[in-house]
Each structure stands twice: as structure tokens, then as C-alpha cells.
Amino acid sequence: MIYSEISHHRLVSQKLYKTSAFSPQEIVHHLGAMQAQDYAMAKWAVGSRCHASEKEIEEAVNSAKIIRTHILRPTWHFVSADDIYWMLDLSAPQVKRFTVAAAKKYGFDAKKLDQINSSIEKLLAGNNHLTRDEIMQELNIKKSSKEDFLSAAIMMNAELDGLVCNGEMKGKQITYALLEERVLKPKTKLTKEEGLAKLALRYFESHGPATALDFSWWSGFPPTICQKTINAIELQLSGVTIDNQQYWFKKHHSDLDNFRESVHFLPAFDEILISYKTREASILQEHQTLAFTNNGIFKPIILENGRVIGTWKRTIKKDHAKIETKFFNETESSKKAILFEGIKTFENYLETKIVIE
């Protein structure tokens, strides 16, 4: 393997070639955790890797086969119901430092947050699914720009404590429900070392080739802990040194790795970019500011043969979806026509007509 091949191998490990049929929950399980603060785009991140429609993916979320919650880094993620408890046990203590610090600014210490959790539990008991605004209203926390930060910290803390997760959607509004009423709690727990090993193995099998620093960025754990974990599971992985940098990936990589032409219209915050500390394997340095900002805003991207060549955006209309594209370099009309064939999967996913402008 050479450096220029890394992006291709990542297409394989991230299931973007769709060589086999997978359900939405199987895709999420394979990837471990998929960043999901933009709910509409997060659903397409799953849909771009399987043959499910948006409605089918939303049903998987509503039925708790896929859980949307705060985990790993302090942001929303999709995680499989099979993984939610052990992953929370592992990552919640480190992420809670952020939420506790945020709540303290408003006079909410750990004791007060525990009291709030008890009140939230009573509100949601019996499969009662409420929006954040509805919960805050019952808690008598008024809605303002200041209190909105507080309410976010309160609900994130409740998620990290394993009390709540996403409930069923109310139209376009996100709700919360009790986690244990949605997903049965397992009887056994992993040790921290077992959890780290499981997380690392999942990451490198689904995101490799990747480095220890990539895993540290994605998982939120310090580089020293990540390297120690890699050392513990090294025999279960394959490795290659490229430009004095060690990359890890799934052992016994499949013969399906053979290069093939491909075009993908991927969502904002897709794992193909956001799950790596450095991203030069997939996007040239001079194009990076066109695809994502320094403060962590990622745009939907157009990927040709594993390389980002432009960005796109969608606008949902009554009877169609409008797609607008921006290519980094001048692109001939004949080439665009070929590239636009890649948008057909998005048309099938939305189950509506696509109009490209």
C-alpha cells in the first residue's frame, strides 16, 4: 500500500462500495459511532452506505435500533443499540467533564444535576417522549439564549449518565425518552481496558487505514492511552508504515479492495473526513477550507475515486429536491454529466425527483 491508496482503502472499510446488503443498524454497528449533530445529513451518512430509504432509516431511529445521543466527543452520534451501554460506560466519564463544567456556570453542581435527573426520570417514565423544550418547561427552566445552553448541558448530562436518549420524532422535533425503556440493559459490563480494545478494533476495522492520532481524535481519548490500546490489540490488526507514519487496518483485508471508479455525494460531517485527525489522504490541503472550517463546520462533499473534488447542497421542494454543486476546479460539462450519475443513489434514498442546478 502507498499513501495515494489510503483513500481508496477507506472507501472499502467504510462500506461506501456497497458490495453487500446491510441494514441501517448494521452500518451504524460497523462504524461504531457516526457523528450526527445534523440529523438530516446523519441519516444520509447511513443511507449512502446501504440501500435503505430515508424513511427506513428514520424508522430504525424511532424504533431504537439506532440510538442518537451524545457519546465519545461532546457531540451527537448515532450508535447501535447493541453498543450503547458499553460505549457509554467507556466514554461518558471523559465527556461529562465538559457538561459538568458548562452546567456549573449556571449554578448547577453535580448534586443539583442528580436532582434534575430524578425529575427527568419521573417526567419520561412510562414511555413518555418529550422534547427538550417540554422537559425544560416542566422543570421551570425558562427558554432564553442563556438558558438554552443550560438546557443543552442538562440533557447531555442525562444522556451521559445513561438516563435518556433520543425518543421518537414529533414531526420534525427531536424528543427524549428513558434509555432503559428503549434498550434492555445488559447484565455484564466490560472493564475499561476491554472497552478500549473493543472500540479501537471497531475503529480500525471500519475506518482504517488510520493512525493512532486519528483514533485519538475520533474516540476522544488521549494519544498515550490510544497507543497503549493499539499495542494490546496489535496482533488482531494489520499495519503498514508510509512516510514514517504507522497506519492500522483490518486484518486479512478482502480481495474486494480492487480499485474501481466511483462517485459519492456524501453528507456534511461524513465519517470519510471527520473521523480522521489529518485529511490530506482524501482532500488536498488547498481545498480544505472550501470543505470545512476551522471551527468544525463540514459541508456536504463530492467524492470521486476517494478524493474530494467539490461540495454540494440540497434544497427540499414540494415535489423534488434541488441540488447545487461547486467544483474546486473547472469541470467540463461532459465530465459533470458522468459525475451526476452518482446522485441517483440520493434520489432513491429520498424517494423523490432530483433537479441539478
pLDDT per position as a tens digit, 248-300: 999 876 645 567 789 999 999 999 999 999 999 999 999 999 999 888 889 99
Residue 244 has a CB neighbour count (10 Å cut-off) of 5
Phi and psi of 350, rounded to 5°?
-75, -20
Of the pLDDT bands very low, low, confident and very high (cuts 50, 70, 90), residue 153 is: very high
Q: Looking at the predicted structure, is the pLDDT value of residue 203 above 90?
A: yes
pLDDT per position as a tens digit, 321-332: 999 999 999 888
Amino acid at residue number 2: I
Q: What is the mean pLDDT of residues 160-183?
A: 96
pLDDT per position as a tens digit, 50-109: 999 999 999 999 999 999 999 999 999 999 999 999 999 999 999 999 999 989 988 999
Q: Looking at the predicted structure, is the pLDDT value of residue 145 above 70?
A: no
Q: Looking at the predicted structure, is the pLDDT value of residue 121 above 80?
A: yes
Quote the pLDDT of residue 4. Answer: 85
CA distance 179 to 263: 38
Q: Looking at the predicted structure, is the pLDDT value of residue 149 above 90?
A: no
CA distance 65 to 79: 9
Q: Looking at the predicted structure, is the pLDDT value of residue 161 above 80?
A: yes
Instruction: For residue 28, give the nearest of 85, 82, 70 by alpha carbon.
Output: 82
Q: Looking at the predicted structure, is the pLDDT value of residue 28 above 60?
A: yes
Q: What is the mean pLDDT of residues 128-151?
A: 85
Of the pLDDT bands very low, low, confident and very high (cuts 50, 70, 90), residue 178 is: very high
Q: What is the mean pLDDT of the chain?
A: 93
The DSSP symbol for 267 reads P
The torsion angle over the Cα atoms of residues 261, 266, 270 and 273, rounded to 10 degrees, is 50
Copy the grid coordinates of residue 309.
473534488
Q: What is the mean pLDDT of residues 220-232?
A: 98
